[in-house]
């Protein structure tokens, strides 16, 4: 801020503090000279504003909560016994099977190989 307002020699701290005080005090003093607007905001507009504000606050809380809970959920899924975790390798073998390549039973030993074939 100082380099924009003052060119050349750096000002002393007293003149900078006087300038800051002036920049803050003048708008407040000028606002005291204004006459009141004499406007009325009815309860309908206030309730609408509070409803919109409530929706924004709830949305922000849900987003932050989701971001905080997501790693915990992923950790619990990976540590749950007896379930197979989807990995890119699993998805590629299934895709090869669907494309006419090797079967999923031979590529992925485990649950799929233990299943009985469909009886017709």
Whether the pTM exceeds 0.85: the reply is: no
pLDDT tens per residue across span 55-109: 999 999 999 999 999 988 888 888 777 666 666 665 554 444 445 554 444 545 5
* Residue 37 lies inside a defined structural domain of this protein: no
pLDDT tens per residue across span 1-29: 555 565 666 767 777 888 888 999 998 89
- Within 10 angstroms of residue 114's Cβ, the number of other Cβ atoms is 8
Rg (CA), the chain: 34
* Residue 110 lies inside a defined structural domain of this protein: no
51: containing domain = 43-79
How many structural domains are present in the chain? 1
């Amino acid at each position: 801020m100082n380099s924009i307002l003052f060119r050349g020699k750096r000002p002393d701290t007293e003149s900078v503090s006087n300038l800051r005080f002036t920049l803050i005090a003048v708008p407040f003093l000028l606002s005291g000279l204004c006459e009141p607007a004499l406007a009325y905001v009815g309860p309908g507009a206030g309730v609408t504003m509070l409803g919109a504000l409530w929706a924004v606050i709830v949305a922000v809380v849900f987003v932050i909560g989701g971001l905080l809970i997501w790693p915990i959920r992923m950790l619990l899924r990976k540590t749950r016994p007896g379930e197979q975790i989807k990995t890119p390798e699993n998805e590629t073998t299934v895709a090869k099977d669907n494309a006419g390549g090797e079967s999923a039973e031979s590529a992925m030993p485990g649950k799929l190989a233990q299943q009985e074939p469909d009886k017709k």
